[in-house]
């Protein structure tokens, strides 16, 4: 799986009809919205794109649109690993509308999603194989129940340890994506799924003028590199086992 998302939506009810009928919004309306969500940041237009291409843009890049009865952001800054810790200002920005958050990352098999209704926190899940279940608040939705019931176990791969969770977070993440946003990024789409490449977005560079965020990212990367073990190489043997290669072996 290679899908990644960093999605936040404010909607007057079900978001899916708004996405299905999406048309290109006015750039001035969207840039004002992005500036409102990131006060004090430098916001510069960088061109248009689609939801299919930019569901998880890189650092300092944001995509957004204004829809009929909804606003959609593709924005790493607005998606929290633990949704219950979302800043209060984000909740105020929704103005009582439904809030849907969805974040998943294929490199770490991490998934988080959350829903607020009329300002009330109703459901949150944050899960990854490394951290386990970081947050599980509220009643699971119907699409989740087969996963919690053990109906979607992860099949073991050759020479791999058993998967540490009862299901793959990205598998559940795709179902959450379909339930809340009406589309999936990987797997076989249903006939009535929305095509995310038909949803136009406006792109922006949103930079911290103080340089603090980039310094924090650089520090985190340095700590990750220092904690990494030296690379190890293995060879698949005829009996199906893996043998670690020593120095000088190719």
Mind listing the pLDDT tens digit for each residue in 51-74? 999 999 998 999 999 999 999 999
Residue 249 lies in a domain: no
- Helix, strand, or coil (residue 204): strand
Q: What is the mean pLDDT of residues 215-238?
A: 66
Residue 227: which residues within 8 A CB-CB, separation 6 or more? none
Percent pLDDT > 90 in the chain is 72
Share the mean pLDDT of the chain: 89
Residue 82 lies in a domain: yes
- Considering only CA atoms, which of 203, 213, 201, 205 is closest in space to residue 42? 205
Residue 174 lies in a domain: yes
Residue 53: which residues within 8 A CB-CB, separation 6 or more? 197
The number of domains in the chain is 1
How many C-beta atoms lie closer than 10 Å to residue 68's C-beta?
12
Note the pLDDT of residue 210. Answer: 80
Q: Which domain holds residue 191?
A: 5-244
Residue 40 lies in a domain: yes
What pTM value is reported for the model? 0.85
Percent pLDDT > 70 in the chain is 89
Residue 142 lies in a domain: yes
């Amino acid at each position: 799986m290679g899908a990644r998302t960093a999605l936040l939506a404010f909607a007057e009810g079900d978001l899916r009809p708004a996405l299905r009928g999406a048309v290109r919004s006015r750039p001035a309306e969207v840039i004002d919205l992005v500036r409102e969500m990131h006060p004090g940041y430098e916001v510069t237009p960088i061109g248009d794109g689609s939801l299919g291409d930019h569901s998880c843009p890189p650092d300092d890049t944001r995509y957004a649109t204004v829809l009929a009865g909804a606003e959609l952001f593709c924005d790493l800054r607005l998606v929290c690993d633990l949704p219950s810790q979302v800043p209060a200002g984000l909740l105020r920005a929704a103005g009582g509308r439904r809030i849907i958050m969805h974040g998943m990352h294929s490199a770490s098999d991490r998934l988080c999603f959350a829903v607020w209704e009329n300002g009330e926190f109703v459901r949150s899940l944050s899960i990854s194989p490394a951290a386990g279940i970081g947050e599980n608040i509220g009643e699971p939705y119907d699409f989740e129940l087969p996963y919690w019931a053990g109906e979607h176990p992860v099949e073991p791969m050759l020479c791999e340890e058993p998967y540490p969770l009862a299901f793959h977070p990205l598998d559940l993440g795709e179902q959450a994506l379909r339930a809340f946003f009406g589309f999936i990024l990987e797997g076989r789409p249903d006939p009535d799924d929305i095509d995310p490449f038909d949803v136009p977005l406006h792109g922006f560079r949103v930079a911290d003028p103080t340089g603090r965020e980039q310094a924090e990212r650089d520090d985190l990367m340095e700590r990750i590199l220092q904690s990494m073990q030296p690379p190890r190489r293995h060879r698949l043997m005829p009996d199906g086992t893996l043998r670690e290669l020593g120095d000088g072996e190719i």
